[in-house]
Amino acid sequence: MLVSRELRSEGQITERMILFTAVNGVFAYLVLALLLPFLHIEYQADLRTAVLHPVYAFAGALAGGYLASRALLLLARWIGKNEDRQFILTVAAVVLTIGMAHSFQVSVALALVTLGMLARNLDSRHALLPVRLGRGAELFFVIFFVLTGASLEFHAFGTAAAGIVAAYVVMRFLGKALGVLAFGKLSGLPPGAAGLLAIALTPMSGFAIVMVRDTASLYPSIGRELASVVLAAVVVLELIGPLATQFALRKAGEAHPDA
């Protein structure tokens, strides 16, 4: 998103890149929720905990996001299309959702994703204005990069871990590329454009860090093992990912930085 904004890119590759980024994050969290019962069983939790805890965490996050989105849309209609007021309202809805998720011990990330998704799709009257954070939004990207680097423990990054991280990065790219190339033609993308889209999707979302933290909060031992691989992969892909995205958008002719 940051690269496309810097390049002022517009076009088919840019739109699909942003859409796929959002969809990938949602599906990743859904798959994590489905895998949690197996993790509970692996650590010898009873069957009730293995089944009910993931269901509670998943359903509770969805319910919290739904209630927050309904409240957000209702208040947005009430205060009208005033950009300053709606900005404060949106921030308040986010803070409320985070507090609700913490209080009921459900997934904060999934509750926030649900809030955003439903607020966008249930707004039949178009009462909610798009949030414009302006140049100040880049501060959050800087903080994210710094926190990611600070979370990486190099003493755990041995030769074996480096091999696992390299395999993970390669397999992740191949998985995305094969999916995009296989179904690109069906959605109207020629092979060349599908290849550029696969390259544009190289960066790794900060959502991965959230998922590692959620898993580590349940079982710290596997959390440390996950963190040593995932955080290292995030750092690597934060370095090469933006360059790959920039290359793909420029090659597709959708970058207009001087526009």
Q: Examine the domain organization and report whether 111 and 239 are in the same domain.
A: no
Q: Examine the domain organization and report whether 128 and 140 are in the same domain.
A: no
Tokens of 20: 């796929």
Average pLDDT over residues 146-164: 66
Whether residue 150 lies inside any domain: the answer is yes
Q: Examine the domain organization and report whether 195 and 216 are in the same domain.
A: yes
Q: What percent of the chain has pLDDT over 90?
A: 36
What does the pLDDT read at residue 133?
A: 66
Range of the domain at 173: 1-19+136-259
Q: Examine the domain organization and report whether 150 and 248 are in the same domain.
A: yes
Whether residue 38 lies inside any domain: the answer is no
Tally the domains of the chain: 2
Is residue 208 within 8 Å of 234, Cβ to Cβ? yes
What does the pLDDT read at residue 210?
A: 78
Whether residue 231 lies inside any domain: the answer is yes
Q: Examine the domain organization and report whether 100 and 116 are in the same domain.
A: yes
Whether residue 31 lies inside any domain: the answer is no
Q: Examine the domain organization and report whether 218 and 128 are in the same domain.
A: no
Q: Examine the domain organization and report whether 249 and 143 are in the same domain.
A: yes
Whether residue 113 lies inside any domain: the answer is yes
Q: What is the distance between the alpha carbons of residues 190 and 50, in angstroms, rounded to a whole number? A: 45
- pLDDT for residue 35 is more than 90: no
What does the pLDDT read at residue 129?
A: 85
Q: What is the distance between the alpha carbons of residues 65 and 118, in angstroms, rounded to a whole number? A: 8
Whether residue 32 lies inside any domain: the answer is no
- pLDDT for residue 67 is more than 80: yes
Is residue 211 within 8 Å of 108, Cβ to Cβ? no
What does the pLDDT read at residue 152?
A: 60
Q: Examine the domain organization and report whether 84 and 172 are in the same domain.
A: no
Whether residue 127 lies inside any domain: the answer is yes
Q: What contacts 148, CB < 8 A, 6 or more positions away?
A: 206, 209, 231, 234, 235, 238
Average pLDDT over residues 183-202: 90
What does the pLDDT read at residue 255?
A: 92
- pLDDT for residue 76 is more than 80: yes
pTM over 0.85: no
Q: What is the distance between the alpha carbons of residues 81 and 182, in angstroms, rounded to a whole number? A: 43
Is residue 39 within 8 Å of 222, Cβ to Cβ? yes
Burial of 28 (0-12, 13-18, 19+ CB in 10 A): middle
**Domain termination site, one of 132, 148, 165:** 132
